[in-house]
Amino acid sequence: MAYAALGLFVVLMLVIGAWRRRIQLARTGDSGNRRGWRPEPTLEWWALAVADVGYLLVGVGAPAAALAGLSALGVFDRGWVQGFGVVVVAGGIVLTLVAQLGLGASWRIGVDDTETTELVTTGPFALVRNPIFTALLATLIGLALMVGNLVAIAGLVIAVVGIEVQVRGVEEPYLRRVHGRAYTDYAATVGRFLPWIGRIRDHQMMRGR
């Protein structure tokens, strides 16, 4: 199962990374990438770097550790759990791509404070405000179920931390600043990662300014 997890992680990266950027470039003339790869003293750079570490631990480190002899934790060391993980990964990859495509021309990797993109609130964004991250986390959970060792669990926790910091500390303040009342109304009615959970009330908006 470790080889399968590693292979599915490669598929994930190709589909939601390289292929998605090619689609964006063909449709808009812009790859959508706003992320700098050289270390920068910004919250966004560190948040995304932490998330990347988590992704790599789940998708590469955990399978490698399994191949080196690290056993799955007891509750995960069952064929049906690992099989369920495969189903979750497959569905998660599809849903991540669907959510990315749902952003249309507004899709970005990273945030550019100097540009204004359309606020998308339809399709999967009518259910949760961050369906891309929701689907991606579901995919990582599936990969963790397939391998089930401590490296996978640690990577999943690290990825969640990086994503939470990116969303709460970078993306939400940007969207409040750019879209104002339209975003606050949207955030007050639609959950952050899950339906109804993580809606932002007026007093929370004021603290985030």
Structural domain spans, the chain = 2-27+38-208
pLDDT digits (tens, 9 = 90+) for 122-152: 999 999 999 999 999 999 999 999 999 999 9
pLDDT digits (tens, 9 = 90+) for 158-203: 999 999 999 999 999 999 999 999 999 999 999 999 999 999 875 4
Q: Note if the pTM is more than 0.75.
A: yes
**Matching CATH number, 2-27+38-208, of 3.40.50.9100, 3.40.50.800, 1.20.120.1630, 3.30.460.10:** 1.20.120.1630
CA-based radius of gyration for the chain: 18
d(CA 176, CA 58): 32
pLDDT digits (tens, 9 = 90+) for 75-104: 898 999 999 999 999 999 999 999 999 998
How much is the pLDDT for 205? 52
Closest CA to 156 of 138, 173, 169, 129: 138
Which two tokens mark 49? 């770097």
